[in-house]
Each structure stands twice: as C-alpha cells, then as structure tokens.
Amino acid sequence: MRFRFTKGHGTGNDFVIVDESVSLTPELVAAICDRRFGVGGDGVLRVQRRDGGFFMDYWNSDGSLSEMCGNGVRVFARYLWESGLATGSPLEIGTRAGVRKAYLEWDGIRVDMGAPVLLGHSEGGRAISMGNPHLIYQVSSVDDVDLSVAPAFDKEFFPEGVNVSYYEWAGENHVRMRVYERGSGETLSCGTGATAVGVAAILESSGQPTGAITVDVPGGRLTVTVDEQTSWLAGPAVLVFSGEADSVSWTGAKAPNLAPSPRPGVLPRVQR
C-alpha cells in the first residue's frame, strides 16, 4: 500500500499527516513513527471528515489512541489551510476531547484549548485534565529530571495513563518545562502539557485561575493564556515536507503490547 504523507511539527513536537484513505493499525502507526525505519514522528494525524467538518484522528507513536494533542491541532490546522482543504479563521476541528477552534495569526496558530479541569493532587503533583490527563510537578531544575524511563504514577488515579510534566521558573511569568508523554516518551514539546503547566504555574504564582505565561519547551516557545472561560495555546506550526511511503513487511517497530512478529512498516520516498 503506497500512500502520501506530510511531515509537520509544532515546537519540535512532530507528526505524520495522512488522509482518511489510509487504513491505520497500531502496528502501522508504530512503523510510520519509527525514526530509523519509518518517516519518524511523535504521532500520526489522520484527516477525517465527520458531520460536514474535520476530525483529527490522533495516534501516539506506539500505536495507541489519544483524546487530544494541542500541538497536533495547530499542525493539523496549518495542513488544512495550506493544502486548500479549509479556508477562513477560526477553523473548527473535532477531536476525541471535543471541538477545538484554531486561529491563524501572523506569528503562528492559536488554539482554544477549552477550560482546564483541576483534578486535585496525586503523588505530590497537580493533576489537570486538558481533555487528556496531566500530572504536573514544579522542580528546581528540569535538566536534573530523568525522563529516560516513564515516571511513576498512581494507576488508580490515572487508569488510562498520564502525561507527566516538570517545570521550573525562568523569570516573571516565564517557565521552562520537560514532558514525558504517554505512548510517545519524552518529546520536545507537548501542547496540552504546556497548557497544563501554564495553568499550574499561574495558580502557583498568583493563586488566581487566570493569567498569561511564557512556556519554553526543548523545541521552542509557547504562550499559554487562561481567562474566565477557557485556555489558549499559541505558537509556531510548520509543515516540513511531503512524500510517499510504501507499506512493507518489516520487523523494526517497537510498539508496547504488540507481538514481535513481522508487521507493516514504511520507507519514505521524499519528493524534494
């Protein structure tokens, strides 16, 4: 099976975008996202049409599904606009966590992330839902955090798993963060994670539920704003290249809970 794809990223959080004609499986997604044998990415965004609009079918790099991806929505919107599939701003995009609105701005794309839901505390961290679950820790230095393995968490509190983020203060209304995403491992950026960190940092600094904060991730800079109704994530979203890929019999995918038998993979044929 040969299919076309586009590669994009938001502050280094990278995705492979395909259309709805591509029949995804966990094995194929893991193979596509493999950085040595496949196209490479933190996840796959499949463009689907539902109820007259667009739906972002998001898969983590290990082949699991996720409710929402903040950087993914911004890259998805960029793709729809630049490919001519959609016009006008704002653009409504369906996700498993509900509809998100994307606004095209001169320096990037801003997304209405919805109202954060404060879930309390777990294992010494602040639990926040942005449509998907997050556990946030404030630390003295994010560089000292070991994210080579998945952080421990309370599986009864987070039965579907959780994204774990760590942040440190870098100045007034300014933090640095690192994140371990469930299903992908440490990534250069996480949009919902940055939003959750922004919410936690605003609460920690002012005790108020509203405000604005700059969030530096390893892949760049994002801005999080929280008002009385919702939260906003703004930053760059870039399309890098497009090409074709062939599905081949291949044994290199590393997807948890999948049998180690040969399974589909992809070899990119990049058009320059």
Any idea which residues carry the catalytic annotation? 69, 190
Residue whose C-alpha is closest to residue 102's, from 234, 190, 8: 234
Tell me which residue has tokens 């983020």: 165
CB contact at 8 A, 38 and 67: no
Residue 269, classed as helix, strand or coil, is strand
Contacts of 203 (CB under 8 A, 6+ apart): 126, 209
Report how far Cα 68 is from the mean position of its chain's Cα atoms: 7
CA distance 29 to 20: 14
CA distance 266 to 30: 10
CB burial class (10 A; 0-12, 13-18, 19+) of residue 115?
A: middle
CB contact at 8 A, 237 and 10: yes
